[in-house]
Amino acid sequence: MIKRITNGWNILRMLRLLIGIAAVVQGISQRENVLWIAGSFLLLSAVFDFGCCGSTGCAVRPRAKTTNKEIVYEEVDASK
Per run of 10 residues, the mean pLDDT along the chain (length 80 residues) is 75 89 93 92 86 60 73 81
Q: Where are the domains of the chain?
A: 2-48
pLDDT the model gives residue 30 = 93
Q: What angle do CA 63, 53, 10 make, to 5 degrees?
A: 85
pLDDT the model gives residue 58 = 61
Do 49 and 26 contact (CB within 8 A), yes or no?
Answer: no
pLDDT the model gives residue 27 = 93
